[in-house]
């Protein structure tokens, strides 16, 4: 069964999709893992990074996106979910003999609408709104979980906010990586998402959960090295577990996500960001890491 890794933060613009795609590429290339990226964000950025606009458009016209999958399979047991998956995506070349590949369940602009429809559909079966919402989340969770049989890692690129899909992904995940930009408002967002992930309601309850037992770990992203960032990261480290890795603000990272048809090596794709990605990969997926230990 696959390990499920969610990349989540209620705040937008913190680099969730970027980190999700980087980790997917790294795990397939270096870890030789079969990776599925599930794009739960209606912006569909991870999908566009991995298959480009034209192929994504074909996928949505063919009804092969995450919202189609949720809608089609909501009431049925999934039989052939691979129908919805785009295989061997991304523009990193993998040796033919290596099992390492990235696959994608493409994102959809319609996911929020579909969630509304599924809620209404479910509401006809029961009147308690909280229970209806929980049922929708549970069904989504089961549907995502179904992919666990065919992959080593399932990376869940969560949308900002608290949609049913985001909550289902956070609930399902074995571990959650929470990227954040080291700025003033990020600490508020981290505090809130941490409560959600740990299923507690107050800061005191969260503080009672030892770092080693927490299901999430935070990743400082877009780090520029300024002194103010150091202050904030040190402050955040008092309340939340942090990865040692830092992803700096580099042009090479931004450039890496311009979709190109031609396959390339990891070094060609990520340029001077490569050592940072390597460190992040080793920390997240390495044999002795928190993700491996989470089982």
Partner 1 sequence: MARTKRFLNGAAKDAFLKQVLAAEPGLDEATRERLALALQSSIALVSLRCHSGSEPASAAGASVETTDTAAAAHEPDVQNTAENTPPATATEGAPFDPYSPNVIVVFRTLGRDAALAELHAIEDIDCLRLLAREQRLGIASDLADAADIRRAIVAAAERRIANRRAAAS
Q: Residue 212 Cβ, how far from partner 1 at the closest point, in Å?
A: 10
Helix, strand and coil percent figures for the chain, each rounded to 5: 50, 15, 35
Q: How far apart are CA 281 and CA 216, in angstroms?
A: 16
Q: Which is nearer to partner 1, 228 or 255 (CB)?
A: 228
Q: What is the H or E stretch that residue 103 is in?
A: strand 101-105
Q: Residue 184 Cβ, how far from partner 1 at the closest point, in Å?
A: 7
Q: Which is nearer to partner 1, 98 or 205 (CB)?
A: 205
Q: Which is nearer to partner 1, 109 or 207 (CB)?
A: 207
Q: Residue 191 Cβ, how far from partner 1 at the closest point, in Å?
A: 4
Q: Residue 163 Cβ, how far from partner 1 at the closest point, in Å?
A: 22
DSSP state of 176: E
Q: How far apart are CA 222 and CA 26, in angstroms?
A: 18
Phi, psi of 220 (to 5 degrees): -65, 120
Q: Which is nearer to partner 1, 77 or 238 (CB)?
A: 238
Q: What is the H or E stretch that residue 172 is in?
A: helix 164-172
Q: Residue 234 Cβ, how far from partner 1 at the closest point, in Å?
A: 5
Q: Which is nearer to partner 1, 62 or 203 (CB)?
A: 203
For residue 86, CA distances in Å to 35, 82, 102, 252 come to 12, 8, 9, 26
Q: Which residues bind partner 1 (CB under 8 A)?
A: 184, 187-188, 191-192, 195, 201-203, 211, 225-228, 230-231, 234-235, 237-238, 244
């Amino acid at each position: 069964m696959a390990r499920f890794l969610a990349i989540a933060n209620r705040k937008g613009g913190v680099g969730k999709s970027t980190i999700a795609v980087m980790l997917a590429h790294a795990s397939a290339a270096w870890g030789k893992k079969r990776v599925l990226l599930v794009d739960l964000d209606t912006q569909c950025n991870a999908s566009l990074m991995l298959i480009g606009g034209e192929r994504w458009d074909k996928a949505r016209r063919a009804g092969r996106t995450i919202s189609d999958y949720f809608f089609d399979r909501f009431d049925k047991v999934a039989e052939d979910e691979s129908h919805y998956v785009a295989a061997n995506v991304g523009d990193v070349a993998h040796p033919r003999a290596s099992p390492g590949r990235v696959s994608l369940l493409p994102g959809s602009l319609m996911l929020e609408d579909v969630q509304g429809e599924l809620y209404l559909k479910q509401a006809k079966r029961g009147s308690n709104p909280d229970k209806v919402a929980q049922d929708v989340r549970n069904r989504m969770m089961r549907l995502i979980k179904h992919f666990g049989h065919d992959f080593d890692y399932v990376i869940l690129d969560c949308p900002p906010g608290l949609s049913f899909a985001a909550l289902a992904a956070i609930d399902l995940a074995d571990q959650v990586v929470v990227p954040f930009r080291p700025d003033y408002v990020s600490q508020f967002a981290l505090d809130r998402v941490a409560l959600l992930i740990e299923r507690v309601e107050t800061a005191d309850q969260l503080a009672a959960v030892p770092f080693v037992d927490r299901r999430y770990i935070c990743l400082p992203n877009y780090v520029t090295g300024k002194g103010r960032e150091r202050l904030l990261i040190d402050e955040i480290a008092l309340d939340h577990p942090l990865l040692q890795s830092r992803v700096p603000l580099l042009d090479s990272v931004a450039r890496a996500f311009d979709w190109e048809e031609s396959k390339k090596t990891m070094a060609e794709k990520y340029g001077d960001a490569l050592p940072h990605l390597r460190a992040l990969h080793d920390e997240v997926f390495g044999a002795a890491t928190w993700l491996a230990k989470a089982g």
